[in-house]
Amino acid sequence: MIVTVFKERDREDVIDLWKRCGLNAPQNDPDDPDYRRMGYGRVIMNEIEHKLNSLGCPKINLQVRETNVSVIKFYEALGFKNDNVISFGKRLEEE
């Protein structure tokens, strides 16, 4: 697996991936269905946790839609807990 920074030349591939995942909205982070359940997400999250911890970050907060049960289970398996808070948002432009 290669993780890279988005480049403009990747735009069509990224949009295609979002569409295949049913997540074609900019606030979503898609994962390719062909690569799910292979441990890549765990590896990425472990690296993120390590880097944030080394920078002194005491906590990670995530927002996951209540309907996204598979992602909720993924994060729970990594030790994340529901903080029982409400996330507010206000869209300032039309979708």
- Residues 61-86: tens digit of each pLDDT: 988 888 888 889 999 999 999 999 88
Closest CA to 33 of 75, 73, 77, 70: 70
Helices (H), the chain: 11-21, 40-54, 69-77
Range of the domain at 22: 7-35
Q: What is the domain count for the chain?
A: 1
**Residue 89 belongs to some domain of the structure:** no
- Residues 20-61: tens digit of each pLDDT: 877 655 556 656 778 788 888 899 899 999 999 999 999 999
pTM, two decimal places: 0.64
DSSP H helix total and E strand total for the chain: 3, 0
